[in-house]
Amino acid sequence: MSGGKPPAGGRDPSRPRPAGEGWTILSYLIGGMLLYGFLGWLASRWTGWPVLFPIGMLFGLASGIALVIFRVTRS
């Protein structure tokens, strides 16, 4: 790589990732499941549809995965 400039992706692949990045990823996944699982649980109690709780959990997990992908590809 000439000029010491990072590639167009943004992160220099020769540089190691920060040590706490694994904990950050885990907290995004668990936090998304907890937040949207709780909202799904509240909605299921309000509407009487128990299926909203697992839907909220899955949506939270998908949101956490999307956030991790977004953060990893941008850094």
- pTM, whole model, 2 decimals? 0.73
- Give mean pLDDT, residues 34-57: 96
- The band of 72, judged by pLDDT with boundaries at 50, 70 and 90, is confident
Written as one letter, the residue type at 35 is L
pLDDT at 6: 56
d(CA 36, CA 63): 9
Is 56 within 8 Å of 43 (Cβ atoms)? Answer: yes
Flag whether pLDDT at 37 surpasses 80: yes
What H or E segment, with its residue span, contains residue 16?
A: none
